[in-house]
Amino acid sequence: MLVSEVRIILVEPAGALNVGSVARAMKNFGQHQLILVNPRCDYLGEEAKLMAVHAQDILTSAVVVTSLPEALQGCKRAIATTGINHDWDAPLESPRTAFPWLLESVGQPSALIFGREDRGLSNQELNYAQKFVRIPSSSEYASLNLAAAVGICCYELSQIADLSFGSDMNITGDKNKHSSPESELAHLDIVESYYQQLELLLLQIGYLYPHTAASRMEKLRQLYNRAELRTRELSMLRGMLRQIEWAIGSKSHE
């Protein structure tokens, strides 16, 4: 895929100067899809425009949404940035090792998610991503400014794309192949609807309890995200849930 197909998602950015700088960095490296989730600043104001300079078109074309799932609609791959070590099986990778995977989604948008300036992304928001990256930095001062982090990531994406697509070989080294829709990665919004259906069923049968459902579902999400569900596989899983729901309903009427 092209670097221009990667969505840069900022969750609740609070600084107009930062958003303007992000727009400039994006244009520097060929990206233009800026998605803002509940922005806490005037991203079209004078401060943002001042920092954007000749990238004000990125600001004016930015899409504003109310939730991260809405920002991810239509995406098949998503990477979240974080500076915190979590007790998860999914490792924290560097941009250089993780981004080739992000660019493998041919013909479909992918997403790179950045959190708030002061506290990053919540655990719930991190659950919407399949991979996680942390930019290597000095232990003396590891915290990066939002715009600086976006700039580094945009640069890394552009470098990987230049190296990978200069020939007829794709990122994995295989010749470009046409895959069937059923063998492609499932869209993240459809995967999310499966998670909601699964959670309701598990609550119904007593495997989950309301007060612990969030933490249990977090583990299940991580498991499925590592599996990188294909459309055909997701259809099979949803069919299983429907059959279980039918069986429960049928038994309750006996």
Q: Which domains does the chain have, with CATH numbers?
A: 3-164 (3.40.1280.10), 181-252 (1.10.8.590)
Model confidence over 89-131: pLDDT tens digits? 667 899 999 999 998 866 778 999 999 999 999 989 999 999 9
21 vs 11: CA distance, rounded Å: 15
- Mean pLDDT, the chain, integer: 86
Q: Determine the pLDDT at residue 40.
A: 97
Q: Computed from CA positions of residues 174, 179, 182, 187, in that sequence, does the dihedral angle turn out positive or negative?
A: positive
Q: Determine the pLDDT at residue 156.
A: 94
Q: Determine the pLDDT at residue 181.
A: 58
Model confidence over 176-197: pLDDT tens digits? 444 565 668 888 888 888 888 9
Q: Answer for the pair 115, 81: CB distance below 8 angstroms, yes or no.
A: yes
Going by C-alpha positions, the residue among 43, 82, 58, 60 that lies closest to residue 7 is: 58
Q: Determine the pLDDT at residue 84.
A: 76
Using alpha carbons only, what angle is made at residue 193 by residues 188 and 195, rounded to the nearest 5 degrees?
Answer: 95
- Other CB atoms within a 10 A radius of the CB of residue 244 amount to 13
Task: Name the least confident of 15-24, 110-119, 150-159, 242-251.
Answer: 242-251
Is a pLDDT exceeding 50 seen at residue 165?
no
Instruction: Say which residues have a Cβ less than 8 Å from residue 87's Cβ, sequence separation at least 6.
Output: none
Sheet of 6-11, strands arranged across: 63-65, 34-37, 6-11, 110-114, 77-81, 131-133, 92-93
Q: Between 114 and 2, whose confidence is greater?
A: 114
Which amino acid is it at 237? L
Going by C-alpha positions, the residue among 237, 11, 222, 27 that lies closest to residue 125 is: 11
Distances (CA, A) of 218 to 46, 123, 176, 205: 41, 8, 35, 18
Is a pLDDT exceeding 90 seen at residue 80?
yes
Report, as an integer, the average pLDDT of 25-51: 96
Spell out where the chain has E strands.
6-11, 34-37, 63-65, 77-81, 92-93, 110-114, 131-133
Q: Determine the pLDDT at residue 184.
A: 80
Q: Answer for the pair 34, 61: CB distance below 8 angstroms, yes or no.
A: yes
